[in-house]
Amino acid sequence: MTKSFSRFVKFLALASLGILAGLAANHLLWGQPRPGAAQKGAEAAPIPAAVPYIDTHTHFDEKDANGTVQAVLKATRVENAAKIYLQIPPFDFKDSDKYDAEVLLPAAKKYPDKMGVLGGGGSLNPMIMEALSTGKAGPDVQKKFRDRAEELVREGVAGFGEMAGEHFVGATGYEYAPPDHPLYLLLADVAAQAGVPIDIHMESVPQAMALPPELKSPPNAAQLHENITHFERLLSHNPRAKIIWAHLGTDMTGFRTPEISRRLLAAHSNLYLEIKYDPKLPGKNPVWVDGVVKPEWLKLFQEYPDRFVFGSDQHYPLEGQPIRWQSEVQILNQLPPDLRKKMAAENAQHIFQAKAGGGAAGAETKSTY
């Protein structure tokens, strides 16, 4: 064998080893889940929560109560969800198709350990919107409002929701009401007495501003009212009322930031923030980017570990609906173990633990609504 031929053989051997090493590295790199791939994988192979968790904010098919219940029971197994709370959309008084908790409560009550129902979106919220429209919120209106809220409590709702403060057009139309409206303050008193929370959808508007240019007016309002001052009045009105501010991480104004969240959490011990991530509409201050929890949000979670819950806004049954719960679980699974435990279920259990003799365990009554 010549020297040149020997060198050629060695070259081929080394080259072959290099190719094999490259293929192995490529397999190790691309064989692992990549950031941002969660949504694609969610449909084919759902990833359950690392620990049992509670989803505090979902919606349902009001025309199929039994189908909804079966879908939720299946979801608890697939998602590793300990419990799922279902809410009513925040309707306007002009909406002819509005409904409330009565359409689901009888079916959901059969499984109290697996699901709960919040109410008022189809009755209390329209009453607030009508009072704001007419300017009438006197004693008669307040009595009617209180009677309805207390009726819902007797029927067994786990809380009041979904309510609206600043709600852009989506599943329901555009709605605005200052959170310190007299009926909202009254609702806080009823909620505190019953030991149940209020779940409110409100875009963050720290000062009056024009509608963000990517949104259309009409149907949304061209000018937005400042609402943080009004929100703080609601929070301060009755500190025993637990207020859940829905949809953290999907704001459309750009002002629902870690900074404003931190200030409000520090000032109001009855405020809880409900995390949502919609892969198709992530918002301007998302909690999750490229498959990773943003450091500034994680820092806030660690500063206030008792004040955050997960509310996916998932619709059940799942058929034909965007899959939102999977992203929530991906966020949860990335949290440090101690923080994960609190945010997965312990915080929600604290919020929804009604006082003895009140609220969610109340006697069933015939609705007059």
DSSP assignment of 210-253 equals EPPTTS-TTTS-SEE---HHHHHHHHHH-TTS-EEEEEET--SS
Q: Are 75 and 358 in contact (CB under 8 A)?
A: no
Q: Find the CATH number of the domain harbouring 295.
A: 3.20.20.140
Strand partners, 245: 200, 273
Q: Is residue 27 very low, low, confident or very high in pLDDT (cuts 50, 70, 90)?
A: very low
Q: Is residue 19 very low, low, confident or very high in pLDDT (cuts 50, 70, 90)?
A: very low
Q: Three-state DSSP class for 27?
A: helix
Res. 4: pLDDT tops 90: no
* 183 token code pair: 């009926």
Q: Which domain holds residue 73?
A: 53-354
Region 79-85 average pLDDT: 98
Q: Is residue 45 very low, low, confident or very high in pLDDT (cuts 50, 70, 90)?
A: confident
Q: What is the pLDDT of residues 344-355, one digit of tens each?
A: 999 999 999 965
Residue 89 lies in a domain: yes
pLDDT at 11: 43
Region 341-366 average pLDDT: 69
> How many C-beta atoms lie closer than 10 Å to residue 137's C-beta?
18
Residue 302 lies in a domain: yes
Strand partners, 55: 84, 310
Region 185-206 average pLDDT: 98
Res. 39: pLDDT tops 80: no
Res. 286: pLDDT tops 80: yes
For residue 23, count CB atoms less than 10 angstroms from its CB and return exposed for 0-12, middle for 13-18, buried for 19 or more. exposed
Res. 41: pLDDT tops 80: no
DSSP assignment of 261-289 equals HHHHHHH-TTEEEEE---TT---SS-SEE
Residue 102 lies in a domain: yes
Residue 143 lies in a domain: yes
Q: Where are the alpha helices (DSSP H) in the chain?
A: 3-30, 38-44, 65-79, 105-108, 124-134, 139-155, 182-194, 228-237, 258-267, 295-303, 325-334, 337-341, 347-351
Residue 88 lies in a domain: yes
Closest Cα to residue 35, out of 279, 224, 301? 279
117-283-272-342 Cα dihedral, nearest 10 degrees: 90
* 344 token code pair: 């997965």
208-210-212-213 Cα dihedral, nearest 10 degrees: -170
Region 201-208 average pLDDT: 98
Residue 279 lies in a domain: yes
Domain count, the chain: 1
Q: What is the pLDDT of residues 143-167, one digit of tens each?
A: 999 999 999 999 999 999 999 999 9
pLDDT at 43: 52
Q: Are 99 and 62 in contact (CB under 8 A)?
A: yes
* 20 token code pair: 């094999």
pLDDT higher for 43 or 120?
A: 120
Residue 361 lies in a domain: no
**Most confident segment among 14-18, 19-23, 326-330:** 326-330
Residue 165 lies in a domain: yes
